[in-house]
C-alpha cells in the first residue's frame, strides 16, 4: 500500500472554475456549463466564488474536438509565452491563462475540467499526486464508490492540460458515450459529481473535512500502448473483443490484446499485470494510443 498522503496546511479556496467544452465534441460538459450559466445559484457556495468557462466555443460550434490543435495540449508554460504560436487554440489558451491563471485577471485556486470519453471509463476523476487533490478524489470515491480515481504521477503544473494553470482540482472523464451526443444519465452523473466537488471544497474551507479511516483504491498511470502498425504507420490490428470495454480490469500476460485483420490474436507480452484504461478511445487514434496502462494502488488519506 502506498504511504499516506502528507496533509499540508489548510488550503483556503477563494475562487473555483468549472470548465466545459475544452473539446468541442464532448457535449456533456459544454451543456452543463450552459446550464450553470443559466442557473448560477446551482453552483453557488458560501465560502468561495464559482466561475464557469466555455473553453472552446468555435470547436463546439463546428462539432469538432478542436479547430487547429488540441486545446488541452496548449498550456505548457513555454507555449503560452511563445507569441509565434498563432493557431486558434494557442490564442485561446493564452486568453484563458490571462484570465484565470496564477497571474491572471481573476486567478482561480481550483479547476474542475469536464470531459467525456468513448471508452468505458465510468465516472473517472483524474488528479495529480498533490495531497489536496488526492484527498479530494478519495472523498469523491467515499461518497460514490463507483468513482474511479486515475492518478497522474507527474504534476499537472508541468503538463499541457488546461487544469495545469492552477494548483488544485481535477479532470472528470465520464463514458462511454459517443462524440457530439448528449446522454441524460451521463449528464446527471457528471452534474452530481460536480456538486459533490463544490460541497467538499466548501466543507474544506470551513475545516469540516476529516480523514478517511480506510485506504482508497486508485489507478496510477504508467504508460501507453499503441496499435500495431506497419512501416507506413497504418494500423494493423484492432483492440481484441475480449478486451473491449474492460477498462480498469486486470490484464495479465498472455491475455488477448489485439486482433489482426487476418484474425490472429496478439497477446499481452509483458511480464507484469496491468489495468488498461481509455481502451480504444476515439480521440486517441491520432495520438498513437490504443490504451493507457495503470497500476492499481491503495493509499490511506
d(CA 213, CA 223): 31
Question: pLDDT tens digits for 171-229?
Answer: 999 999 999 999 999 999 999 999 999 999 999 999 887 667 788 999 999 999 999 99
Query: In this structure, what is the dihedral angle of CA atoms 138, 139, 140, 144, given to the nearest 10 degrees?
Result: 100
The predicted structure's pLDDT at residue 10: 75
Name which of 89, 143, 126 is nearest 278 in CA terms.
126
Quickly state the pLDDT bin for 104 (edges 50, 70, 90): very high
Q: What is the mean pLDDT of residues 242-259?
A: 98
Residues 136/170, Cβ–Cβ less than 8 Å: yes
The predicted structure's pLDDT at residue 3: 58
Q: Among residues of the chain, what percentage have pLDDT more than 70? A: 94
Name which of 169, 130, 128 is nearest 150 in CA terms.
128
Class of domain 222-293: mainly beta
The predicted structure's pLDDT at residue 210: 67
Angle among Cα 268, 215, 114 to the nearest 5 degrees reads 70
Mean pLDDT, the chain, rounded, equals 94
The predicted structure's pLDDT at residue 300: 86
112 CB burial (10 A radius; 0-12, 13-18, 19+): buried
Q: Span 15-212: which CATH code?
A: 3.40.630.10
Name which of 114, 96, 111 is nearest 26 in CA terms.
114
- 12 against 158, higher pLDDT: 12
d(CA 79, CA 46): 36
Angle among Cα 272, 273, 277 to the nearest 5 degrees reads 125
Q: What is the mean pLDDT of residues 270-281?
A: 97
Question: pLDDT tens digits for 43-72?
Answer: 999 999 999 999 999 999 999 999 999 999
The predicted structure's pLDDT at residue 213: 75
Q: Is the pLDDT at 161 greater than 70, yes or no?
A: yes
d(CA 9, CA 6): 10
d(CA 23, CA 169): 18
Question: pLDDT tens digits for 125-136?
Answer: 999 989 999 999
pTM of this structure: 0.94
d(CA 137, CA 45): 19
- The structural domains of the chain, with segments of one domain joined by +, span 15-212, 222-293
Q: Is the pLDDT at 121 greater than 70, yes or no?
A: yes
Quickly state the pLDDT bin for 5 (edges 50, 70, 90): low
Amino acid at each position: 500500500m502506498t504511504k499516506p498522503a502528507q496533509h499540508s496546511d489548510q488550503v483556503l479556496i477563494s475562487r473555483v472554475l468549472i470548465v466545459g467544452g475544452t473539446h468541442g465534441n464532448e457535449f456533456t460538459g459544454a451543456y452543463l456549463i450552459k446550464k450553470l450559466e443559466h442557473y448560477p445559484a446551482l453552483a453557488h457556495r458560501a465560502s468561495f466564488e464559482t466561475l464557469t468557462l466555455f473553453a472552446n466555443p468555435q470547436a463546439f460550434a463546428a462539432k469538432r474536438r478542436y479547430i487547429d490543435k488540441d486545446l488541452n495540449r496548449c498550456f505548457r508554460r513555454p507555449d503560452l509565452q511563445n507569441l509565434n504560436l498563432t493557431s486558434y487554440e494557442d490564442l485561446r489558451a493564452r486568453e484563458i491563462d490571462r484570465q484565470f491563471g496564477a497571474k491572471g485577471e481573476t486567478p482561480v485556486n481550483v479547476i474542475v475540467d469536464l470531459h467525456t470519453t468513448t471508452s468505458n471509463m465510468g465516472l473517472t476523476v483524474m488528479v495529480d499526486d498533490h495531497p489536496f487533490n488526492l484527498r479530494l478524489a478519495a472523498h469523491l470515491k467515499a461518497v460514490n464508490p463507483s468513482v474511479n480515481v486515475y492518478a497522474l504521477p507527474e504534476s499537472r503544473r508541468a503538463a499541457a492540460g488546461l487544469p495545469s494553470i492552477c494548483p488544485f482540482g481535477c479532470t472528470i472523464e465520464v463514458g462511454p458515450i459517443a462524440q457530439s451526443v448528449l446522454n441524460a444519465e451521463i449528464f446527471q452523473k457528471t452534474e452530481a459529481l460536480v456538486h459533490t466537488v463544490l460541497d467538499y471544497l466548501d466543507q474544506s474551507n470551513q475545516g469540516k473535512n476529516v480523514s478517511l479511516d480506510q485506504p482508497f483504491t486508485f489507478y496510477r498511470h504508467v504508460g501507453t500502448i499503441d496499435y500495431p502498425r506497419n512501416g507506413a504507420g497504418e494500423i494493423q490490428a484492432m483492440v481484441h473483443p475480449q478486451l473491449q470495454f474492460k477498462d480498469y480490469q486486470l490484464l495479465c500476460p498472455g491475455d488477448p490484446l489485439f486482433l489482426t485483420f487476418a484474425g490472429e490474436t496478439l497477446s499481452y507480452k509483458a511480464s507484469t499485470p496491468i489495468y488498461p484504461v481509455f481502451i480504444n478511445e476515439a480521440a486517441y487514434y491520432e495520438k498513437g494510443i490504443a490504451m493507457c496502462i495503470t497500476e492499481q494502488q491503495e493509499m490511506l488519506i
